[in-house]
A = this chain, B = another copy of it.
Amino acid sequence: MKKHNFSAGPCILPQEVLLKASEAVVDFNGSGLSLIEISHRSKDFVEVMENARALALELLDLEGKGYKALFLQGGASTQFLMVAYNFLETKSGYLNTGTWSDKAIKEAQFFGEVVEVGSSKDENFNYIPKGYTIPQGLDYLHLTSNNTIFGTQLKKFPKSDAPLICDMSSDIFSRQIDFSQFDLIYAGAQKNMGPAGATLVIVKEEVLGKVSRQIPSMMNYEVHISKDSMFNTPAVFPVYVSMLTLQWLKDMGGIAAIEAINDKKAQLLYSEIDLSPAFEGYANKADRSNMNATFNLTDDRLKDTFEELLKEGGINGLNGHRSVGGYRASMYNALSLESVGTLVDIMSEMERRG
């Protein structure tokens, strides 16, 4: 049975990427050696790293604009800490849109003052705060572009005099944005880019080197830049699969092309949620994420029926996060419109049974 993988992350990757990655684990580039048993300093792997870094900048239209791309380890959770290490001298600003912002704030507080410029905690983060004031004199302003748990997404980004830093773990490469408005972007690979274990950091070099504290090597963006993202042994396999996925995206027409498909997928699913009396959405309509749609059954007695139909239909990973409950359909780049169609068919069937 074909599986439809709506997992929130690690999540679906393009089938052709999985096949190539699988092959490289036994024979990389026809070398007779596995990708994972060769030196990371070998010509073949250095090419992978350089290619991945270049593709990231190219797809985000940030080539020749003073940015560097790094593939580090430790996920966004390590970036929560590194951002503060490298930028927080006295006072930072954070927009709190839920769990991930909350965690980022907690880590920044180890290094200095954090001003929560806005928060949607009052409504369990089902909306994106608007109309907030950004104080003067911040070392940086930190945003989270998409919240996987609550299913919200920033559609507009605030202007600020301070450097703008954005956690784009769950929607990078999914929609067209002027990425040059950001000074630093970071993203765990395991949504639209690759497997868990690699973290993409895109940073404008000119904003670095301004804090007075000493920064340990692994926490220091400048150290990683000076070593072309190879200060230490990188996560070879996750970087390779990220490169393959970025190449897949480029080949299909880049972010503009995938955005058109992502829009169709989201419209199809949200239409069903809005039209069907059997379901109701969780997030505020204007702030809905095109990556993660959160919704509930209006009648909880139909839970078993719905979940039985999901199982029969090969739908995987639809459970909502424990802090919200209900359901969450994650529609990352590699998920097909057909898979969303299959889910919507099942939801329509629920309507008939409701």
Contact = CB atoms under 8 A, between A and B. Distances in A.
A75 interface: yes
A183 to B, nearest CB: 22
A22 B22 CA distance: 5
B37 A7 contact: yes
Given A78-B74, A107-B217, A196-B236, A10 B37 contact: yes
Interface string A8-47: 1111110000110111011000011110111110000000
Chain A, interface SS category: loop
The copy count of this chain in the complex is 2
Nearest to A12: B37
Contact of A75 (B80, B232, B241): B232
A197 interface: yes
A231 interface: yes
A219 B110 CA distance: 12
Interface residues of A, number: 64
Given A73-B75, A238-B235, A22 B33 contact: no
A216 interface: yes
Given A73-B78, A219-B81, A316-B33, A39 B8 contact: yes
A317 B8 CA distance: 40
A133 interface: no
Contact of A216 (B19, B107, B234, B236): B107
Closest 4 CB pairs of A and B: A197-B235, A36-B195, A77-B232, A22-B25
Interface of A: 1-3, 5, 7-13, 18-19, 21-23, 25-26, 31-34, 36-40, 73-78, 80-81, 103, 106-107, 110, 188, 190, 194-198, 214-219, 231-238, 241, 314, 316-317
